[in-house]
Amino acid sequence: MKIATVGKGGSGKTTLAGTLARIFAERGQRIVAIDGDPNPNLALTLGMTPDAADRITYIPPSIMTLVKDEAGNSKLEPTMSNDALMEKFAVRANDGIDLIVMGKPAHGTAGTGCMCSSHRAVRGLIAELTDIGEHTITDMEAGLEHLKRGTARNVDMMLVVAEPYYRSLEAALRTCELARELNIPFVKVVSNKARGEEDRAAIADFCAKHDLEVIGEVPWDEDFAKAEQQGKSPYDHAPTSVGIRAIRDIADRIAALAVPPAVPGSGDGAAARA
């Protein structure tokens, strides 16, 4: 299963992606975690130390090149084999998880360059690394721009993290609509940070009204904040906290889903908006 976490800034994408990776790995599954955020921090959530995270070599966006096939369609090609790529760039995080980090494109993003090459590389990598590991889990950049560009077009499941306030829910709805346009087989909302029944119901009711499927509800968890204060991953800080248990339930539900056959039009073809 190729999974991506998406949602508004600060909604909880990295916490979810990193913790899911740890839970699957703890169950003996081989996991490739991809940090697709230009401001990467998945390493810490996977339990790596800040020092080890600082030593990671980021994958340059040039790892994927756009070529034309015989029919003139745009096609992404890796510039090295998967084995070479993993050997050169993957770092071992806790529980045997292989982590690769995209980082920023070389020309920067502060008004000077664009993120196209980086988006393209993430998209290509998600497609290329399918055969390595049982799950790839990609932590995406906040917002919708990468979705409009089809960055996560190659995933099987998009987990849309929603918080209990209006703008987050509206963003989740728009995200789900875009994900469906990309023909992503499983598009599921993860309710996050509800501080009580009213919050929980706000997300659940909104999703029911708009026909969005909620795969799990992660309540507000004080231990997540404490973990951050101590520079630890939530999973290592309190493996049985209420939030981690809720993410375990989500992992169970994901495991129970079979990967459906590929949906026509979901690959990198003429429609690539690279």
Provide the minimum distance between the beta carbon of 37 and ligand ATP in the complex, in angstroms, as a whole number: 5
Query: Judged by CB under 6 A, which stretch of 8-16, 103-111, 151-159, 207-215 contacts ligand ATP?
Result: 8-16
What does residue 66 show for φ and ψ, rounded to 5 degrees?
A: -95, 120
Residue 255 in contact with residue 245, Cβ under 8 Å?
no
Strands 135-139 and 74-78: unpaired
Q: Does 9 bind ligand ATP (CB under 6 A)?
A: yes
Structure tokens belonging to residue 104: 């920023």
Q: Does 37 bind ligand ATP (CB under 6 A)?
A: yes
Provide the minimum distance between the beta carbon of 176 and ligand ATP in the complex, in angstroms, as a whole number: 16
Query: Closer CB to Mg ion, residue 14 or residue 138?
Result: 14
Query: Closer CB to ligand ATP, residue 136 or residue 192?
Result: 192
Binds ligand ATP (CB under 6 A): choice among 90, 142, 176, 254: 142
Sign of CA dihedral 71, 74, 78, 82: negative
Q: Does 225 bind ligand ATP (CB under 6 A)?
A: yes
Query: Closer CB to ligand ATP, residue 42 or residue 182?
Result: 42
Binds ligand ATP (CB under 6 A): choice among 1, 3, 12, 38: 12
What counts of helices (H) and strands (E) characterise the chain? Answer: 11, 10
User: Which x/- pattern over 3-42 shows residues binding Mg ion (rule: CB under 5 A)?
Assistant: ----------xx----------------------------
Q: Does 231 bind ligand ATP (CB under 6 A)?
A: no
Q: Does 14 bind ligand ATP (CB under 6 A)?
A: yes
Q: Does 138 bind Mg ion (CB under 5 A)?
A: no
Q: Does 218 bind ligand ATP (CB under 6 A)?
A: yes
The Cα 175–Cα 74 span in angstroms is 25
Residue 76 in contact with residue 124, Cβ under 8 Å?
yes
Q: Of 50, 36, 49, 28, which is closest to residue 3 (Cα–Cα)?
A: 36
Contacted entry of ligand ATP, Mg ion, none for residue 225, CB cut-off 5 to 8 Å set by kind: ligand ATP
Q: Does 243 bind ligand ATP (CB under 6 A)?
A: yes
Residue 19 in contact with residue 175, Cβ under 8 Å?
no
Residue 221 contacts by C-beta under 8 Å, 6 or more apart in sequence? 234, 241, 242, 243, 244
Provide the minimum distance between the beta carbon of 168 and Mg ion in the complex, in angstroms, as a whole number: 14
Residue 63 contacts by C-beta under 8 Å, 6 or more apart in sequence? 78, 79, 80, 85, 121, 124, 125
The Cα 114–Cα 107 span in angstroms is 8
Residue 23 in contact with residue 68, Cβ under 8 Å?
no
Provide the minimum distance between the beta carbon of 202 and ligand ATP in the complex, in angstroms, as a whole number: 15
Query: Judged by CB under 6 A, which stretch of 5-13, 82-90, 99-107, 203-211 contacts ligand ATP?
Result: 5-13
What residue ranges bind ligand ATP (CB under 6 A)?
A: 7, 9-15, 37, 142, 192-193, 218, 220-221, 224-225, 228, 243
